[in-house]
Structure 1
Amino acid sequence: MQKALILNGPNLNLLGTRQPEVYGSTTLKMVEDLCLNHGKSIGLEVACFQSNHEGALIDAIHAAKGVQDGIVLNAGAYTHTSIALMDAIASVELPVVEVHLSNIHAREEFRHTSYIAHVAVGQICGFGAQGYVLALDALTAHLKDRVSE
């Protein structure tokens, strides 16, 4: 069974209470349960991790090498600032699908830039918690395509 890490960055622990007009009322626990259940339904073993600390996210990416087959990453605000996360992703050579609850391209100008996009296989944004399901499906399809090559 293939394995995927759901990695959530800063402030995502506040989902459900933080700016519900932007991020909705779904909590991080609900997102993680959604991912775990969807993973089971598509034959993917899912692990979840969240941190507000850039170094902890980098450590999780490094630890995924040789353990996980891919990563679904919502880097939160680090998306727009962290060259270190971008470099960590590039160095582990695992496929990463970038996900955001809101449509970052329809928000403030500074949110339009994603350092993660440079090293991700794709980006899904604007679909709320359902974006994680879409990201898991996209990652699974990408992994299957890699095996068939």
Structure 2
Amino acid sequence: MARTIDLFDMPDDDLDRRRANALSCARGYPSGCTNRAAEIRNASIPSDPMAGQSERVRQFCTYRSFDITCNSDNAWGCAMLGQAFRLGEGVEADPDEARSKYRLACALHPGPERERTEYAPCRFARNGLAAMGEPLDATD
């Protein structure tokens, strides 16, 4: 359901999509957890129950979600976990862990990315590595 809402360009503040991602996560689908955590991290809306939480709580929640999904071999979870380690969001900044998670994201979803989006997980991970001064092909 959440993916259908995404595909039909529903608004970013669509609480139904957030609920569908949360339900998907609760039912054990890693992509639902990754998407729900990304919503919490990237686009807070007043009607979202997580909006009332402190920044520290939101960051820890997203970090834990990305950690769980990366451990389930979800490429997006690993890419986002790399970012959490790079920026110190919900966890102490750790450049070595960031590099490791970014590289794992590319190993899980290496490309060439067939997705027609700039947000494919390995491309996102490569951009994170570049922000750290790593060569873009440092994912091998």
Give the alignment's TM-score, normalised by structure 1. 0.29
Greater relative contact order: 1 or 2 (C-alpha under 8 angstroms, separation 6 or more)? 1
Give the alignment's TM-score, normalised by structure 2. 0.30
Name whichever structure is richer in helix by fraction. 2
Name whichever structure is richer in strand by fraction. 1
